[in-house]
Amino acid sequence: MVLVARCVRLSRRNADALLMSLLLPVMLMLIFVYLFGGAIDTGTRYVTYVAPGVLILCAGFGAAGTAVSVTTDLANGVIDRFRTLDVGPVAILGGHVVASIVRNSVSTVLVLAVAVGIGFRPAVEPLRWLAAAGLLLLFLLAISWLSATFGLLTRTPEAAGGFTFVVMFLPYPSSAFVPVETMPTWLHGFAEHQPVTPVIESLRALLLGTPPGSAPLQAVAWCLALLALAVTASAVLFPRRVR
């Protein structure tokens, strides 16, 4: 909890990054709805279709900052000082990961509020909202820990920033902004079977009150697999990086 509070304070004091993490999601929502929405036919109001995809896009962007934070601590020698105390690697990385979830939770609420303000009308069943929130938190946990692992691999904050491109790219070849069937045939396989698509389809179904099918099970399986991969990789990489 001490290290989580430290990372949250660092985020709060970095005004430029804080404003970007809060304003960028809102700007993306407005851009997709008002600049592109009129040209895209999804069979429903575009804000209704695109809102879950923007949530995942912004979650990925916010989580990617964890890689930069971890690499910065390594480069500044802060983690070496923590290691002289009774502080384990789980607490060090966990502090960055939980702080990332806190930041993303704030931006998610802000994006949802803007989406509702411009016409998004989600279902009102409390259980569906709880399920959607739980799935989004699980996705944030997986992608944030994966980002922290990437931060252990890179040597400079600039290189760690490259993770932003990776996680922001995945929502585009998915069902986030257009239906998969409108994409070229050769892209269907990747778009339908990558981690982001079942998460988006699950959020869309849960928030709009439509049958989710098998998407939630696939989404949870992907998130747990990514989380297991990230935790295992970080357990191997951390002692090698700090020795």
Per-position pLDDT tens, the chain of length 243: 888 888 888 877 776 766 777 777 788 888 888 888 888 888 788 888 998 888 888 888 778 788 888 888 888 888 878 878 888 788 888 898 998 888 888 888 888 899 999 888 888 788 999 999 999 999 999 999 999 998 888 888 878 877 767 777 888 898 888 888 889 999 999 998 899 999 999 999 999 888 888 999 999 999 999 999 999 999 898 888 777
Q: Which pLDDT belongs to residue 111? A: 87
pLDDT in the model for residue 84? 80
- The amino acid sitting at 17 is A
pLDDT, residue 165, reads 73
The pLDDT of residue 110 is 87
What is the tally of structural domains in the chain?
1
Which residues constitute the domain of residue 177? Answer: 2-242
Write the DSSP string, the chain: -HHHHHHHHHHHH-HHHHHHHHHHHHHHHHHIIIIIGGG---SS-HHHHHHHHHHHHHHHHHHHHHHHHHHHHHHHTHHHHHHTTT--HHHHHHHHHHHHHHHHHHHHHHHHHHHHHTT------HHHHHHHHHHHHHHHHHHHHHHHHHHHH-SSHHHHTHHHHHHHHTTTTTTSSS-GGGS-HHHHHHHHSSSHHHHHHHHHHHHHT---TTHHHHHHHHHHHHHHHHHHHHHHHHHHHH-
Tally the residues of the chain. 243
Q: What is the pLDDT, as a whole number, of residue 132? A: 92
Give whole-number Cα distances, 89 to 12, 69, 80, 156, in Å.
23, 15, 11, 20
What are the pLDDT digits (tens) for 168-217?
788 889 888 888 888 999 999 999 889 999 999 999 999 988 888 899 99
136 token code pair: 């989004």
Residue 22: the pLDDT is 73
Q: How far is CA 216 from CA 132, 142, 221, in A?
A: 9, 15, 8
pLDDT at 10: 81
- Per-residue pLDDT, 157: 80
